[in-house]
Amino acid sequence: MANSSVEQTVIETNHQEDDGVTAIPDGMLLDYITNKPFKDNSKEQVRQRIARALFHEYGINVEDMEPDFKIPIGGRNKKVSIAIFRHGKEHELENVRRVVVCEKEPTGRGITKMRSHDQAKKDLQVLQDFMAAAENCDYGLWTNGLEFFFLEKEVTRFDVKFKPVGDWPMGDETLGTRDVASIARMRKADPELLRVTFRRCHNFIHGNEGMSKDVAFRQFLYLIFAKMHDERNRNGHEPRFWAGAEEQFTDEGRKAIRERIEPLFEEVKQQYGPKPVQEDSLDKKTNPDNEKPKQASIFQGNEQIELSDRALAFMVSELAKYDFNRTDIDAKGAAYQEIVGDNLRGDRGQYFTPRGAIKLMVDMLDPQPHERVLDPACGTGGFLISTVNHLLKQRQKVEGIDPADESTTEFLSLKAEIKEYVETNLFGADFDPALVKTSKMNLMMSANAEGDVFHMDSLAFPKGHLDGNDPAKEAIPLGSIDVLMTNPPFGSDIPISDPMILNAYELSAKWNKRKDDGSFVRGDGYQTAVAPEILFIQRSIDWLRPGGRMGIVLPDGILGNPGDEYIRSWILKHCWVLASVDLPVEVFIVEANVNILTSLLFLKKKTDQEMKAEALGQVTEYPVFMAVAEKVGFDRRGNTLYKRSPDGEELVETVIETETIRLSGEKVKRILRRKQKIIDDDLPRIGEAYHEFRAKNPEPGLPRRKVAA
């Protein structure tokens, strides 16, 4: 429901009536440009990603593209991967405006050293031949899915030159108000291309600068933060985080980029570094509660950009082209997580939760804008970011806003609402200070808000000693949380053995089973060591207000082992069980190379009155939702799984994609129908089934907290 005053035209391209589910033979994929089957291979996969980006990022109509277009070179017709023609013109040689040469992506998950244009001279000669043969072709791109080399053709009276540029202009050929962001206006990122961009940046630092992975990661984060800071604080001013089309290829241009970025990063450190406590702030007259100013601790203040001029220019050119504010939260989160996951996997049972499981938990718990949400073992912030995305989409649905067509007013309004929510109702905590910083940066990139992520030991809370413990006691005391979701560290190889912690938990006590009725009573003393996930169950429930809801990832043993029956008995005493979802082993094999079966357990905290009534024999029977996920969209090696027909063919369905661009001042919304393979993933269907179940079976216990009048 856009409020824009600019006239809008809707163009639906390649409309097809067949919107049902069909099938294609195994080993084939559907071409994004033609919607026809092609043989699947590494090179073709690269071409498909580029074709999507040409439509979604550059605003180029698919009807102006053609795969494998023949161009005469040296007396022979050679096929260029993608030819792009002048808008609305016939697909003939004289109308070719841009060409793309695609090669297969480098194999392996290691670091690939990024080449310069000179080092890729042999590959680029192929591209130049195509550009030279198409007389009116101005731009070319050579890519293997990871390396991107853009060229611009310059024709003089005596020569034809091919100069390297940082990027292409948009599909309408506009360059924006200045030679900024690699000659293109900032744009929303295609999810796959943003992931590749992040990989390219990290690979360049690690592979080309000789920096270790952790140092390279920190340098990458510094620039991400500088980029976000520039977007947040622009207020109509010219951007400082930008790179001209040719700046990264000259010494003078690289120095100019550094002169813009280093002062910007100094501002970042000032704003998000530690603030000294002023003595007058502790004066009883001006500060009767003796409260210290809030400490910003993302940066210590001594961080430096240690990249060479060449590396800095490369990264700024890569990142400057995107408008992170308008790029989809999921896209940013996925790209960020890929880099984070390779660098911050810990040795304390920290297995970062797969995105599908995160989305399912958030969907089933369905946090509302007035509810306080906490993840006490937040890692890189996956549950927090997914909550932000959930609330944004919820708000867009209520307001009838199409994300691809929202007006500036709608965008700024939603942005302000989400920022306020993150700053007031969203909380995280983690024992690892590196993960705390990473979560804060993730929230900043996703929601333009630092958020309250506390460096503390959640199991020692509220008596912990880490620097986030005391602020957390003020912000999130036990019994104050509406929705809690977490994937705690777990495993018997990292037990909790500190008596000061164990003695604070009923679940670390010794329990005896009565022979007469099978119930459990506390015995004498405490166990000498307890797996952390057991204590996290109790601590999470402690944090909930009566009627609060939680979801937690647990190893299956807790829900089935005879020796853990006392844990299940304790849970049933204190909580209503809302749901249990069994996950297949692939979930953590792919994510953490750990062969473990897990479940998502959903609980709702009982009130004291409800527990007393049950103790007096007033037992309430209620249905519990249970599901088993057999497929999660990928196999044990991480390969994507697609649904198949009884004959083994892969099933495809029609999806509708939209993109809104401006052509000659007019707002044009393009609608594209494409056949797409159906990922074999049970998790979204489980979420739908849970909501259907809840529509027929309201939650037991205390009603959800309502918005205050």
**What's the chain's average pLDDT?**
86
Query: In this structure, what token pair is assigned to residue 131?
Result: 């550009």
Q: Who has greater pLDDT, 131 or 3? A: 131
For the ranges 173-177, 280-284, 387-391, 667-671, the maximum mean pLDDT occurs at 387-391
Q: Say how many C-beta atoms besides its own lie within 10 A of residue 493's C-beta.
A: 9
Q: Buried b / exposed e across 568-577, counting CB within 10 Å, b at 16+?
A: eebbeebbbb
Query: Which pLDDT score, from 0 to 100, does residue 343 have?
Result: 63
Query: Which pLDDT score, from 0 to 100, does residue 594 have?
Result: 74
Distances (CA, A) of 434 to 168, 453, 488, 532: 37, 12, 17, 20
Residue 554 has pLDDT above 70, yes or no: yes
Contact 322, 188 (CB under 8 A): yes
pLDDT tens for 466-496 read 999 999 999 999 999 999 999 998 876 789 9
Contact 179, 245 (CB under 8 A): yes
Three-state DSSP state, 37: strand
The average pLDDT across 131-146 equals 95
Query: Which pLDDT score, from 0 to 100, does residue 695 have?
Result: 96
Query: Which pLDDT score, from 0 to 100, does residue 664 have?
Result: 62
| Spatial CB neighbours of 593, under 8 Å, sequence gap ≥ 6 | none
Query: Which pLDDT score, from 0 to 100, does residue 48 have?
Result: 95
The average pLDDT across 553-566 equals 93
pLDDT tens for 31-87 read 999 999 989 999 999 999 999 999 988 889 899 999 999 999 988 999 999 999 998
Inter-residue long-range contacts of 61-66, CB under 8 Å, 24+ positions, other chains counted:
61/11, 61/13, 61/87, 61/171, 61/670, 62/13, 62/14, 62/32, 62/33, 62/672, 63/13, 63/14, 64/88, 64/89, 65/33, 66/33, 66/91
| Spatial CB neighbours of 391, under 8 Å, sequence gap ≥ 6 | 367, 368, 369, 418, 421
| Domains (range + CATH), the chain | 344-638+683-696 (3.40.50.150)
Query: Which pLDDT score, from 0 to 100, does residue 137 have?
Result: 96
The average pLDDT across 181-206 equals 77
Beta strands in 211-311 (DSSP E): none
pLDDT tens for 590-649 read 766 677 899 999 999 999 999 999 999 898 999 999 999 999 999 888 888 999 999 889
**β-strand partners of 429:** 454
Beta strands in 74-159 (DSSP E): 76-85, 96-102, 139-143, 148-155
Contact 165, 182 (CB under 8 A): yes
Distances (CA, A) of 452 to 332, 365, 455, 531, 649: 20, 21, 10, 27, 49
> Of 16-25, 132-141, 299-308, 518-527, where does mean pLDDT reach its minimum?
16-25
The burial of 617, by beta-carbon neighbours within 10 Å (0-12 exposed, 13-18 middle, 19 or more buried), is given as: exposed
**β-strand partners of 550:** 484, 603
| Spatial CB neighbours of 452, under 8 Å, sequence gap ≥ 6 | 423, 426, 427, 428, 471, 475, 476
Contact 249, 164 (CB under 8 A): yes
Q: Which amino acid makes up residue 199?
A: R
- Predicted confidence band of residue 351 (pLDDT cuts 50, 70, 90): low
Query: Which pLDDT score, from 0 to 100, does residue 253 have?
Result: 95
Contact 192, 52 (CB under 8 A): yes
Residue 673 has pLDDT above 80, yes or no: yes
3-state helix, strand, coil in the chain (%, to 5): 40, 25, 40
Q: How far apart are CA 53 and CA 148, in angstroms?
A: 13
**β-strand partners of 703:** none
pLDDT tens for 98-117 read 999 999 988 765 667 889 99
The distance between the two most distant Cα atoms of the chain, rounded to a whole number of Å, is 101
Three-state DSSP state, 91: coil
The average pLDDT across 352-373 equals 93
Query: In this structure, what token pair is assigned to residue 7?
Result: 């006239």
Query: In this structure, what token pair is assigned to residue 657?
Result: 């994609």
Residue 39: its H or E element = strand 37-39
Q: Who has greater pLDDT, 52 or 336? A: 52
Distances (CA, A) of 584 to 624, 627, 660, 685: 20, 12, 39, 15
Q: How far apart are CA 127 and CA 139, in angstroms?
A: 10
Q: Give the 3-state DSSP-derived string for 407-464, with helices as H, strands as E and coil as C.
A: CHHHHHHHHHHHHHHHHHHEEEEECCHHHHHHHHHHHHHHHCCCCEEEECCCCCCCCC
Query: Which pLDDT score, from 0 to 100, does residue 576 have?
Result: 97
> Of 138-147, 516-525, 599-608, where does mean pLDDT reach its minimum?
516-525
The average pLDDT across 363-389 equals 95
Instruction: Quote the percentage of the chain above a pLDDT of 70.
Output: 88
The average pLDDT across 446-450 equals 82
- Predicted confidence band of residue 236 (pLDDT cuts 50, 70, 90): low
φ, ψ of residue 528 in degrees (nearest 5)? -80, -20
- Which of the 8 DSSP states describes residue 353? P
Three-state DSSP state, 100: strand
Distances (CA, A) of 72 to 79, 132, 136, 160, 214: 9, 10, 14, 18, 48
Q: How far apart are CA 308 and CA 630, in angstroms?
A: 49
Q: Who has greater pLDDT, 278 or 581? A: 581
Instruction: Give the HSE-up count for residue 373: Cα atoms under 13 Å, Cβ half-sphere.
Output: 28
The average pLDDT across 554-570 equals 93
Distances (CA, A) of 117 to 127, 163, 165, 184: 12, 10, 10, 20
Q: How far apart are CA 431 and CA 565, in angstroms?
A: 29
Q: How far apart are CA 320 and CA 337, in angstroms?
A: 20
φ, ψ of residue 30 in degrees (nearest 5)? -95, 125
Query: Which pLDDT score, from 0 to 100, does residue 464 have?
Result: 92
Q: Buried b / exposed e across 127-150, counting CB within 10 Å, b at 16+?
A: bbbbbbbbeebbbbbbbbbebbbb
Answer yes or no: pTM beyond 0.85.
yes
> Of 104-108, 147-151, 518-522, where does mean pLDDT reach its minimum?
104-108
Q: Which amino acid makes up residue 2?
A: A
| Spatial CB neighbours of 272, under 8 Å, sequence gap ≥ 6 | 225, 296, 298, 299, 450
pLDDT tens for 250-267 read 999 999 999 999 999 999
Nearest to 443 by CA among 376, 366, 388: 388
Three-state DSSP state, 539: helix
Query: Which pLDDT score, from 0 to 100, does residue 603 have?
Result: 98
Q: How far apart are CA 102 and CA 46, in angstroms?
A: 7
The burial of 497, by beta-carbon neighbours within 10 Å (0-12 exposed, 13-18 middle, 19 or more buried), is given as: exposed
Residue 282 has pLDDT above 80, yes or no: no
* Backbone dihedral region for residue 514 (phi beyond 0: left; psi -120 to 50: alpha; all else: beta): beta
Q: How far apart are CA 356 and CA 6, in angstroms?
A: 38
> Of 72-86, 323-337, 424-438, 496-510, where does mean pLDDT reach its minimum?
323-337
Query: Which pLDDT score, from 0 to 100, does residue 289 have?
Result: 47
